[in-house]
Amino acid sequence: MWPITPTCTQRCRHWGDSVAFEARNVIDVDERLRVVGTAHISTQSVELVRRQIKEWGPDLVAVELCPSRMAALTEPETLESEDLLKIINEGRSAMILLQSALAAQQRRMGIASGEKPGAELLAAIEAAEDAEIPIELIDRDVVITLRRAWAKMGLFEKWRVLNALLWDEDEDEDVSIEEMLGDSDLLSKLLEDARAVAPRAGEVLIDERDAFLAGRIQQIRGKGKILAVVGAGHLKGVAHHLGEPAMETTSRLAELKLEPKKPTWPKAVVMTIPILLLGAVIWMAYNGEMGDLRQTAEAWLVLNALLAGLGVLVARGHPLSILVGAIASPITSLNPTLAAGWFAGYTQLKVAAPTGKDAQDFLVLDEFSLFWRNRVGRVLMVTALGNLGSTLGAWLAGGAIIGLLLS
């Protein structure tokens, strides 16, 4: 009989743990479709994915990625100044910051677990490429997902999400990623806790994506033996949808790809304010009310300039960026197609141009507070907070003008 050494005992225990881990996180829908549930920051998940590709031998590997997330994983090259300028011009600064904050939160967890976020997806891609197996990206575009989640949330829900994401410290540090994956009840509880913070966001981030991932898998069922790699939180939901008729599952894809319609009332308010200002000026000038006319002009100029400049200041913008934002705000608030933050962000981009190292560092930030110290992050913050300050200034100035007219 072989002696049972400590090393042998450890290996047997590790093998047993691996088998149990695999049993909990692998679902065979049928003989030609296998779904693997992973954590994006788990060492065991990386090993599981590589083993499944090698041993099961799929004809195609489907991964829970969209093209932009795929590029971020496989080609983490620097952000160019032209890219930042495009982000500013398209008004995507706030959304990019939210996406970066989510990524930073995941990186913090990845550092704690000793694994790079998305490592198991990268392992799936690399293992498939080594075996010359085609890859299919099956996730919805991350920007569409974030926009749909943001649009569905109410004001207080948005605040709770931002508070939890940017400032709250993790209270339960004793729960490991491997423990979470090994305990389906614990994983379910964590998902329920997330829904309690943001139920509408949970509907988009979890339920909608379960349906979308399942629909995309159904679309590619004719391509042979498929191994689908998805997040563990989606495993049961995806498996459930795959049990539904394929036509029903794929028919929802078009609707789930739609970006949310922007509410019309903010644009109506923004367009009403300059009309109101012009009407007030004409009325006061016609009636010779020069004192009220002066107060109207002062309220418009001061509130717009002050709050736009304050927003850029909070973003720790360059003094010239603060000045440009403050000067631009009273003018851009009269034109709905322009935004003071764009001018402030462009100025920040020119006077404190990010280096290649700044761009590389921004892509791996693991704390939101570091965004202010990074030049790329600061350009985005200047743009977003400059726009927010300018908008608040225009609304407050509009209210002050209405007050003057009614007095």
DSSP codes of every residue in 107-159:
HHHHHHHTS-TTHHHHHHHHHHHHTT--EEE-SPPHHHHHHHHHHHS-HHHHH
Q: What percent of the chain has pLDDT over 90?
A: 17
Residue 226 has pLDDT above 90, yes or no: yes
What is d(CA 8, CA 52) in angstroms, rounded to the nearest whole number? Answer: 24
Q: What is the pLDDT of residue 134?
A: 93
According to the model, what pLDDT value does residue 5 have? 44
The per-residue pLDDT for 194 is 63
Q: Which of 63-72, 235-244, 303-312 has the highest mean pLDDT?
A: 303-312
Question: What's the confidence (pLDDT) of residue 95?
Answer: 61
Q: Are 341 and 387 in contact (CB under 8 A)?
A: yes
What confidence category does residue 15 fall into, taking pLDDT thresholds of 50, 70 and 90?
Answer: very low
Pick 282 or 194 by higher pLDDT: 282
Q: What is the pLDDT of residue 366?
A: 56
Give me the mean pLDDT over the 44-64 stretch: 87
Q: Which residues pair with 34 in a beta bridge?
A: 28, 227
Q: Check whether 110 has a pLDDT greater than 60.
A: no
The pair of three-digit structure tokens given for residue 270, joined into one six-digit string:
């923004």
Mean predicted confidence (pLDDT) in 294-300: 84
Over residues 40-47, the mean pLDDT reads 69
**135/184: higher pLDDT:** 135
88 to 14, 93, 99: CA distances (angstroms): 50, 6, 15
Query: What are 247's strand-pairing partners?
Result: none
The phi and psi torsions of 280 (rounded to 5 degrees) equal: -65, -40
User: How far is the C-alpha of 82 from the C-alpha of 241, rounded, in Å?
Assistant: 41
Higher pLDDT, 265 or 80: 265
Q: What average pLDDT does the segment 89-99 reach?
A: 63
pTM of the model: 0.64
Task: Please tell me the predicted confidence (pLDDT) of residue 321.
Answer: 94
Lowest mean per-residue pLDDT among 173-182, 280-289, 334-343, 370-379: 173-182
- Residue 261 backbone dihedrals phi, psi, to 5 degrees: -70, 135
- pLDDT tens by residue, 337-394: 788 988 999 899 888 877 666 766 676 665 666 677 888 888 888 988 999 999 898 8
Which tokens is 356 given?
């290649």
- Neighbour count for residue 335 (Cβ, 10 Å): 11
CA atoms of 64 and 75, how far apart (whole Å): 17
Let me know if 84 is exposed, middle or buried by CB neighbors in 10 A (0-12, 13-18, 19+). Answer: buried
* Residue 280 in this model has a pLDDT that exceeds 80: no
The predicted pLDDT at position 305 comes to 94
Look at residue 84 and tell me whether its pLDDT is greater than 80.
no
Task: State the average pLDDT for the chain.
Answer: 76
CA 89 → CA 82, 142, 213, 271, 371, distances in Å?
Answer: 10, 20, 32, 20, 20
Residue 96: predicted pLDDT:
64
What is the C-alpha separation between 338 and 342, in angstroms, rounded?
8
| Residue 402 and residue 276 in contact, taking contact as beta carbons nearer than 8 Å | yes
Instruction: Assess whether pLDDT exceeds 60 at residue 181.
Output: no
CA–CA distance, 393 with 399 (Å, rounded to integer): 10
Per-residue pLDDT band at 173 (split at 50, 70, 90): very low
β-partners of residue 231 are: 38
- Give which of 311, 374, 362, 369 is closest to 166, Cα–Cα: 369
**How far is the C-alpha of 121 from the C-alpha of 229, rounded, in Å?**
7
> 175-184, 366-375, 396-405 — which is least confidently predicted?
175-184
Residues 123, 178 contacting (CB under 8 angstroms): no
Count of Cβ atoms closer than 10 Å to residue 125 Cβ: 21
Span 106-127, average pLDDT: 63
